[in-house]
Amino acid sequence: MIGYVARDKDGSLYLYDDCPVYEEKYGGWFASPDTIDITGHFPEFDNLTWRDSPVKVEISIKKV
């Protein structure tokens, strides 16, 4: 499954199922309503800023 990670101007980090578009008026990225707040959970995105384009990621779920 493919998703996108983007950071809002307030520093929050979100996972989207569609590629988000930045809305300057609100200072954040917006796409479908299916978003997950992943702030503080993935250090590999610590350097991602709100000015950066969304990062395309592969999402895998496995039973443990």
Does residue 12 form part of some domain? Answer: yes
Q: Is residue 22 packed enough to be buried (19+ CB in 10 Å), middle (13-18) or exposed (0-12)? A: middle
Q: Give pLDDT, residue 50.
A: 92
Q: Give pLDDT, residue 20.
A: 94
Per residue in 1-36, pLDDT tens? 999 999 999 999 999 999 999 988 888 898 877 899
Q: Give pLDDT, residue 30.
A: 87
Does residue 10 form part of some domain? Answer: yes
Mean of pLDDT values over 33-62:
94
Does residue 23 form part of some domain? Answer: yes
| Chain mean position to CA 54 | 7
Number of domains in the chain: 1
DSSP type of residue 54 = P
Does residue 54 form part of some domain? Answer: no
Mean of pLDDT values over 55-60:
96
